[in-house]
Amino acid sequence: MRSRAPIGVALLLLGLLMGLLEGCSSDSPDDEPTRSADPSSTVPSPTTSAPTSSAPTETEPASPTPTPATGPTITAKDLGKTLLRMRLPGDVTWRPQPGGDNASTNNSDGAFVDIAVSALGTVPGKTLGYYAQLTINGGKDIVYPNLERVQGREVAGVTGYVAEGTADKFSYVFGAIYQDSLVQIAFQFPQDDAEAREWIESALASVEWL
């Protein structure tokens, strides 16, 4: 069986990279990354008014609210202080790692899945954009291949960045500055599919900031 380094170990190594890059990296802007617009969305609408229809309009259904995970709990701590609790998703048996910040399992196809949380002290004056770029740069040499910053999001009331990557596996990382610590939630799946996205949303819906 091929061995894998737990994500929790990789996040600790990423903390070491902060010290190495602190003196030579410039801050990345906190603005969200931009994506190419759909050409059809930029075409001006005709000025001619369309005929009024008496037929009732249909409202687009709202996105379903994810069900919070109810599996085992993992916690993110910085210098012994617990900052975040999160439940693990899926109707599967999880294998917790020592320290309580990382667990692995196998998905419905029997493939390896790893989820971890971490908390690291931040450098005064550094922005969220800085840490987003640091995550991407560090991932190239650790376990997050081809990470790219995408649209950020809010998790349980705290706004953070999101980075995703697909190579031989699918990686998803959420990071936020909370109580002067960089808190990260990292997921690794064999591929980006509906089950992976469902597990991510279920886990994030269970997050508690402490």
Q: Is 129 helix (H, G, I), strand (E, B) or coil?
A: helix
Which range, of 12-16, 29-33, 133-137, averages the lowest pLDDT? 12-16
Q: Which fold has domain 66-209?
A: Protein Transport Mog1p; Chain A (3.40.1000)
pTM summary value:
0.77
CB 87 within 8 A of CB 46: no
Residue 62: what are its φ and ψ, rounded to 5°?
-70, 150
Q: Where are the domains of the chain?
A: 66-209
- Binned at pLDDT 50, 70 and 90, residue 136 comes out as confident
| Model confidence at 104: pLDDT above 80 | yes
* Spatial CA neighbour of 171 closest among 135, 133, 145: 145
* Better-predicted residue by pLDDT, 4 or 203: 203
Give the tens place of pLDDT for each residue, 141-195: 555 567 899 999 999 999 999 999 887 889 999 999 999 999 999 999 999 999 9
Spatial distance between the Cα atoms of 160 and 183, rounded to a whole number of angstroms: 9
Percent of the chain with pLDDT over 90: 55
Q: What's the Cα-to-Cα distance from 156 to each of 69, 176, 208, rounded to whole Å?
A: 14, 11, 7
Question: Which structure tokens are listed for 195?
Answer: 């089950």
